[in-house]
């Protein structure tokens, strides 16, 4: 579908030397878990990224993702890319808008400030069904696990980061 992330010719990237961090929220964990799985399995199966080189950490909610991404990048371990995964679902207040804006600006800033690519893997959905579909969990034809796209994107950006 036109909305699917069209991954450029990245199939010949050898990911065996890449180290990737995935930071995910515990909020909306059932959906987040599916997104994390999609990203991990894509990097391992398509690019031969070693499972032991995919470091997974969790935080409470999406608002914590930028801080955690920055601290993992500034740790003693070198990461070639970081994927931040969270799910924001609109409630009945403006909370969603404020967090979504802060998180997207924050995640972009960490990447630019640290020169380590940080992939924006935060679903900002108006309801549960939208989130389920985008994690490949819905029961409609539209379902597509966006974690897969984020795995492709992380390898492509990590590869650029090395070369
Ligand atoms: O990741 C999420 N965090 C949410 N809130 C928590 C927020 O990300 C922080 O963890 C919290 O404000 C403490 O800083 C959400 N809602 O409030 O709806 C949500 O839908 N998703």
Is the pLDDT score of 5 beyond 60?
no
Q: How confident is the model at residue 2 (pLDDT cuts 50, 70, 90)?
A: low
Task: Kindly name the residue from 95, 144, 146, 159 that is annotated as catalytic.
Answer: 95
Task: Report the separation in Å between the CA atom of 18 and the middle of ligand 1, taken as the mean of its atom positions.
Answer: 30
- Tokens matching residue 162: 């090395």
Catalytic-residue membership of 95: yes
19-73 residue pLDDT tens:
999 999 999 999 999 999 999 999 999 999 999 999 999 999 999 999 999 999 9
The CA-atom distances, in angstroms, between 61 and each of 80, 99, 119, 142, 154 are 24, 10, 16, 26, 21
pTM: 0.94
Ligand 1 binding pocket mutation candidate from 62, 98, 128, 135 (most atoms within 8 A of CB): 62
Phi, psi of 50 (to 5 degrees): -75, 135
Is the pLDDT score of 153 beyond 70?
yes
* Residue pointed to by tokens 């998180």: 103
Is the pLDDT score of 16 beyond 80?
yes
ipTM confidence score: 0.98
């Amino acid at each position: 579908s036109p909305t699917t992330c069209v991954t450029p010719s990245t199939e010949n990237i050898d990911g065996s030397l890449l180290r990737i961090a995935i930071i995910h929220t515990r909020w909306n964990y059932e959906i987040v878990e599916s997104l994390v799985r999609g990203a991990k399995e894509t990097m391992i199966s398509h690019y031969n990224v070693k499972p032991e080189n995919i470091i997974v950490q969790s935080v409470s909610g999406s608002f914590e993702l930028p801080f955690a991404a920055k601290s993992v990048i500034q740790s003693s371990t070198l990461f070639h890319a970081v994927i931040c995964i969270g799910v924001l679902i609109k409630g009945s207040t403006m909370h969603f808008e404020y967090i979504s804006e802060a998180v997207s600006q924050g995640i972009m800033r960490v990447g630019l400030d640290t020169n380590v690519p940080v992939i924006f893997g935060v679903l900002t959905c108006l309801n549960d069904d939208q989130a389920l579909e985008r994690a490949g969990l819905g029961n409609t034809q539209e379902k597509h696990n966006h974690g897969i796209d984020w795995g492709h994107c992380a390898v492509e950006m990590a590869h650029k980061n090395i070369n």
